[in-house]
A and B are shown apart, each in its own frame.
Chain A
């Protein structure tokens, strides 16, 4: 039995707007989760290594730069190479609806756009966690 959800919140890409990532990280913290926050400008390689060392249950990416269609496939591929593709990945940020669909087809579990209530995010993450656990 695991008693705590461990989530990695990372911000890949080159833009410097990390407020969203921080708001989500704080919401997850307040929901009783352990949030490993690695902040700005993370490469997919760094995210994968961190996820392995920290043995996280989920990975959350904040992307506002528009680079999601480059970063996400790269990350998913690296996760597969490292045999951690079972860890659910969710994305938050500015992602056009068509891209969001495409990302989900690739294997991203959820895309949270602007204005998503924090309670929705928390709920969804709990749900993703229990799916993996069972």
Chain B
């Protein structure tokens, strides 16, 4: 373990990969907390299944590599709630980077989490940050309306839409439409892209914060430079106005919450007698106090 950590911090990819597996299987081990942050920028990508998240992430990697930045990717696909199995197929869109030593791609099942991420993602980000990637890109599962956990782990969230995904009423709904810092209309060579953008603009204009909308064609890389320009602009703005710090605090709070929930579930499982609700609750609280 110590050996792996040392090797990982010296840039050994295999040790990094092994440590990620370890973290996935031992969420209770808090060793990552002592790792120094090297200041990686964490960018989240979310959107519906088939909107082009993986392909856009692929195009973003290409651009960042042209700028000589190293990139770590965490790509999450759903874990079956029925069998526990998963088909992790995001990587297939990123083939061009398989042999590039400046790119590390890790696929993950979403586990039992319903928020579009895997619970260990908080720790894996810390690990990848300590490894020293310049950028960490996180791709969520194909998200519908309420999978918004990406907002708790990223410095910036890119929400990916594509033409034909509904009218302006969809833009007004709570949940995922609220979490984008940057909105991308991918597949913008499709019919209706301009009209879609216009409607998105008009709905976003109802709130006071002006958010960038970028049109992209991920398969050919069109618009990706503009997207990265906007990401960088926003990152520096968030650094200056304290937003990044606020988001890091929010991340810590959410992480604590997710660990506590797990802890409570564990205590609940120990209870064999379910009589009164208030008894059950005090038993859980007692168990947690006793075992901490």
> Which residues of A are interface residues toward B (Cβ below 8 A)?
1-4, 6, 25-26, 28-39, 42, 45-46, 49-50, 52-55, 83-84
Contact = CB atoms under 8 A, between A and B. Distances in A.
Contacts of B14: 52, 55, 83-84
Contact of B13 (A31, A38, A53): A53
Nearest to B16: A53
Instruction: Determine chain B's interface SS by DSSP, over half rule.
Output: mixed
Given A2-B21, A26-B87, A28-B85, A37 B92 contact: yes
Interface residues of B, number: 26
A29 B85 contact: yes
Contacts of A32: 80, 83-85
A49 B98 contact: yes
Given A49-B98, A50-B98, A35 B86 contact: yes
B88 interface: yes
A52 B89 CA distance: 17
Given A52-B13, A53-B13, A53-B106, A36 B99 contact: no
* Main secondary structure on A side of the interface with B: mixed
B85 A38 contact: no
Contacts, number: 81
B4 to A, nearest CB: 11
A46 B85 contact: no
A84 B13 CA distance: 13
B133 interface: no
A33 B25 CA distance: 14
B109 interface: yes
A34 B84 CA distance: 8
Contacts of B91: 36-38, 50, 54
Contacts of A39: 89, 92, 95
Contacts of A3: 25
Interface of B: 13-14, 17-18, 20-21, 25, 79-80, 83-89, 91-92, 95, 98-99, 104-107, 109
A61 B82 CA distance: 27
A53 B104 contact: yes
A34 to B, nearest CB: 5
Max chain B C-beta neighbours (<10 A), residue from A1, A4, A31, A39? A4
A67 B20 CA distance: 34
Contact of B85 (A30, A37, A54): A30
Contacts of B106: 53-54
Nearest to A47: B98
A42 B95 CA distance: 9
B18 A55 contact: yes
Nearest to A35: B87
A37 B88 contact: yes
A36 B107 contact: yes
A54 B107 contact: yes
Nearest to A27: B85
26 contacts: A1-B25, A2-B21, A3-B25, A25-B87, A26-B87, A29-B83, A29-B87, A30-B85, A31-B85, A32-B83, A32-B84, A33-B85, A35-B86, A35-B88, A37-B92, A38-B95, A39-B92, A49-B98, A49-B99, A50-B105, A53-B13, A53-B17, A53-B104, A54-B91, A55-B14, A83-B14
